[in-house]
Amino acid sequence: MTLSRRNILLGGGAIGAAAAMPAAVPPAAAQAPLNVGLILIGPVGDFGWSTMHDQGRRRMLEVLGDRVRATQVEAVAPPDFDRVATQLVRTGSRLIFTTSFSYFQATQRVAAQNPNVFWENATGTATARNLAIYNARFYEGRYVQGVIAARKSRSKTIGYVASFPVPEVIHAINTVMRGAWSVDPQMRIRVVWAGAWFNPGREADAARALIDQGCDVICQHTDSPAPLQLAEQRGNVFGFGQASDMTRFAPRAHLTSSVNNWGDYYVARARAVLDGGWQPSDTWGGLDSGMFRLAPFTNMTPEEASEAERIRDALAAGTLQPFEGPITRQDGTLVIPAGQRLTDDQIRAQNYFYQGIEVQMP
Amino acid sequence: MTLFEAILLTVITASTPLLIAAIGELVVERSGVLNLGVEGMMIMGAAVGIAAAITTGSSAFGVLAAVLAGMAMAALFALLTLGLATNQVAVGLALAIFGLGLSGVVGAPFVGVQREGIGAIAIPYLSDIPFIGPVLFAQDPFVYAAFALVAGVSWFLFRTRAGLVLRACGENHASAHALGHHVLRVRFLAVLFGGACAGLAGAYLSLVYTPFWTSGMTAGRGWIALAIVVFASWLPWRAAVGAYLFGGVTILQLHAQSAGVPLPTQLLAAMPYLITILVLVLVMRLRGGGAGPAALGQPFVPDR
């Protein structure tokens, strides 16, 4: 709450300073710069999800130069969202990125109230006339994690530090296990819900609990490097980085990281508004789109690494489909038979674990 | 090491920052000052601690800097509430907010810098005792500091003359003043002690528990420390019970989730709060206590 207010003031100051220096704008840029707002769920320094959105913003400013200005508000708790969003609209933002699923419903609401502003929600599930959604197919990276985990684990148990039971996390858990089972059908998973996207201490505690109960590969769906770092401290435990390349936090435990890249998308969307061609699109980019990539594989034998590369390339090429049938729920009901594939909407609505995952849905 | 020992080990470390911060705040409140800014002092300790440790390469210097940072924040609080007799609740809240913001600025150059945490020190002989040894006597120095603080503060408050004076200032500052005690000086020292403890607790987070800096990394622990003081009836030993209980249930609920205990995780996540409050309220009913220092939160302006 407080951080957001401080940053709003800073942002407002920046806008004020910009307005006070009209001479600095070259005459060629007759068009007034587009004000872009970004609302981040965590601090810019989380070294994960929010850091990467911040880098996307920097990339946008770098490419579009003085055609855009950006006001970013970090660490906005969902209850504060409406106030921050309204403030951004008031201070002149015409394109606003709200970068968390926790903001999705609130974004739908404020988008309806502010029809002249273009809204974009990351990981949202529905578009509206002035609301676009964007996400990356991170589950492709999760599949690769599952394959690697099955190769590295001696206890045959993966530990998963999860945030909240939302479809994005649930289908990631399902996909990790699909990847793991493709190597070894005996693989098991334990899940701890940290109840936060960012709480380093709690994330580390969750990883401790999982490791103490015999997990030796830790997957994390929270944003700080704490679980990975703990794996490093414990030794003989491996982990994956989230959102940014976290190799440096765990030189001996890190296997790979899913590295997000929002910059190109932000450039394209800001350009679309400037050119008048903005559409309420639904973008879900896979490994082939460049919206995320996998950090170099570390702490793996050459055979393990080349297998992981092969799986990654097959996913990027679309020859390997993580949501191919048959898919059976935990309770045994068949979702789709062999030969079919889940639609994007079905993936985004996944609220069940697959058969074989011995974890209760909270 | 058995699973049970592993859990106990984690419980002790998870509870330590809560306990250190709570003991500091307990002394502050016993002197009649309500400093709600624990979160702000704690996170400043975390930021300055790791910044100093990285810059100088010495963990000891990092800890010292963290303690000083907590004291500096506390001195600011004291200047406003004791020197200018402003509202303690308002200044305390402002201190929490200010600390969160300022720590982000201090820590910004250190985001993502990787550093070895302070390791455990096994106490000779004692750590060889089966079961108790590895859990209690093979810990990091902060854990021992927490034990020492509880015992030391308890002894100070209830067994020394200075402790009696401090409590007198908290109960009735006018009487203490009339008896010739320097109420504001006592309170100032108490507030500084509280700041030092909060800074130390912050250093624990950024130098031992999760040895890196990210803004907002205290994640509300300062507020929990404040609550522990109240539910512990302003008694050091009860604060220790409260902190270890809270940390214990927090860790146990994570283990319960991992082991697949068939309870809603939301309920499990609420358990630390429920059980800690329940137990401490029960203790209060059985053993008495509960009323805080009578002059808590009241500004004192000495008439000459």
Residue B208 is part of which domain span?
3-109+143-287
| Contacts with A159 from chain B: Cβ below 8 Å | 258
Q: Does B286 touch chain A (CB under 8 A)?
A: no
Nearby residues of A135 by Cβ (< 8 Å), 6 or more positions away: A122, A123, A124, A168, A283, A284, A285
Those residues with Cβ within 8 angstroms of residue A199's Cβ, 6 or more apart along the chain or in another chain: A222, A224, B219
Q: Are A299 and A253 in contact (CB under 8 A)?
A: yes
CATH class of the A138-252+291-320 domain in this structure: alpha beta
Contacts with A, B 15-74, CB within 8 Å: none
B7 to chain A, any CB pair closer than 8 A? The answer is yes
What distance in Å separates residue B194's CA from the closest CA in chain A? Answer: 22
Fold: same for A2-136+261-285 and A138-252+291-320: yes
Helix ranges (H only) for chain A are: 2-20, 49-64, 81-90, 104-113, 138-152, 167-183, 200-212, 226-234, 263-274, 302-317, 344-348
Partner B, chain A 216-255, Cβ-Cβ below 8 Å: 224-226, 229-230, 233, 248-249
Q: Is residue B120 assigned to a domain?
A: no
pLDDT at B263: 83
The helix (run of H) or strand (run of E) holding residue A260 is strand A254-260
Nearest-CA distance from B12 to chain A in Å? 12
Contact list in A for residue B270 (CB cut-off 8 A) is: none
ipTM of the complex: 0.81
Q: Which amino acid is at A123?
A: T
Backbone angles phi, psi at B289, to 5 degrees: 95, 180
Residues from chain B that touch A3, judged by Cβ atoms under 8 A, are: 100-101, 104, 215-216
For chain A, what are the domain ranges? 2-136+261-285, 138-252+291-320
- Identify whether B272 is part of a domain: yes
Judge whether A26 is closer than 8 Å to chain B, CB to CB: no
Chain A closest-CA separation from residue B152 CA (Å) = 27
pLDDT digit string, tens, across residues B108-125: 888 878 788 787 888 888
Q: How distant is the alpha carbon of residue B162 from its chain centre? A: 22
CB B41 within 8 Å of CB B207: no
Three-state DSSP class for residue A285:
strand
Q: A2-136+261-285, what's its fold?
A: Rossmann fold (3.40.50)
Would you call B181 an interface residue with chain A, using a CB distance cutoff of 8 Å? no
- Given an 8 Å threshold on Cβ–Cβ distance, is B265 in contact with A212? no
Q: Does B120 touch chain A (CB under 8 A)?
A: no
Segments of chain A scoring below 50 in pLDDT: 1-29
Residues B132, B137, B139, B143, CA torsion sign: positive
Whether B117 is in a domain gets the answer: no
Distance in angstroms (rounded) separating the CA atoms of residues A287 and A275:
28
Chain A residues in contact with B255 (beta carbon < 8 A): 209, 212-213
- State which amino acid sits at residue A20: A
Q: Which two tokens stand for residue B123?
A: 């106490």
B251 → chain A, closest CA residue: A205
CATH number at residue B242: 1.10.3470
- Beta-carbon count within 10 A of A235 CB: 8
The two beta strands, A282-285 and A131-136, are: parallel
Q: Which two tokens stand for residue A330?
A: 């935990």
Residues A30, A36: Cα–Cα separation, whole Å: 18
Instruction: Mention every residue, 6+ apart, whose C-beta is less than 8 A from residue A232.
Output: A239, A249, A250, A251, A252, A253, A254
In the sheet that holds A34-39, the strands lie side by side as A68-73, A34-39, A95-98, A118-122, A131-136, A282-285
Residue A321 and residue A341 in contact, taking contact as beta carbons nearer than 8 Å: yes
CB distance A248 to A225 below 8 Å:
no
Q: Which residues lie below 8 Å from residue B268, measured CB to CB, with a gap of 6+?
A: B253, B256, B257, B261
Contact B214, A45 (CB under 8 A): yes
Rounded to whole angstroms, what are the CA distances from B158 to B139, B151, B163, B233, B285?
28, 11, 6, 14, 21
| Chain A contact for B86 (CB, 8 A cutoff) | no
Note which residues in 266-285 of chain B have CB less than 8 A from chain A. Answer: 266, 269
Give the CA diameter of chain A.
69
Rounded distance between C-alpha atoms, residue B29 and residue B175, angstroms:
17
Q: Which amino acid is at B243?
A: A
Among B103, B76, B198, B66, which residue's Cα sits nearest to residue A6?
Answer: B103
Provide CB contacts within 8 A for A211, sequence distance 6+.
A159, A218, A230, A231, A234, A237
Domain assignment of residue B17, yes or no:
yes
- Subunit contact B264:A248, Cβ cutoff 8 A: no
pLDDT of residue B1: 64
> Which residue in chain A has the smallest CA separation from B220?
A199
Which of A107, A101, A9, A98 is CA-nearest to residue A53? A98
CA distance A76 to A324: 37
Query: A201 and chain B: CB distance < 8 Å anywhere?
Result: yes
CA atoms within 13 Å, Cβ hemisphere of A353: 18
Residue with tokens 């601090």: A43
Q: Considering the domain boundaries, does residue B266 fall inside one?
A: yes
Phi, psi of B160 (to 5 degrees): -125, 160
Q: What is the pTM of this model?
A: 0.83
Interface contacts (A, B; CB < 8 Å): 118
Ranges under pLDDT 50 in chain B: none
- Phi and psi of A105, rounded to 5°? -65, -40
**Closest-CA residue of chain B to A231:** B210
Task: Give, in degrees to the nearest 5, the angle at Cα A361 between A357 and A362.
Answer: 145
Q: A45 — contact with chain B (CB < 8 Å)?
A: yes
Q: How far is B46 from chain A (nearest CA, A)?
A: 13
Q: State the Cα–Cα distance between residues A245 and A256, nearest whole angstrom.
A: 8
Residue B30 CB-density burial (10 A; 0-12 exposed, 13-18 middle, 19+ buried): buried
Say which of B205, B257, B266 has its CB closest to residue A192: B257
The first and second tokens of residue B221, run together, are 């622990």
Number of domains in chain B: 1
**Shortest Cα distance, chain B CAs vs residue A249, angstroms:** 6
Q: Contact at 8 Å (CB) between B190 and B75?
A: no
Residue type, A133: I
Least CB–CB distance from A43: residue in B104, B209, B262 = B104
Q: What is the pLDDT of residue B136?
A: 80
How far apart CA A133 and CA B165 sit, in angstroms, is 63
Q: Could you identify the residue written with the tokens 């800097």? A: B65
Rounded Cα distance between B205 and B117, Å, is: 10
Name the residue in chain B with its Cα closest to that of A224.
B214
Instruction: For residue B277, list its beta bridge partners.
Output: none
List of chain B residues whose C-beta atoms are within 8 Å of the C-beta of residue A226 = 210, 212
Interface check B101 vs A, CB under 8 A: yes
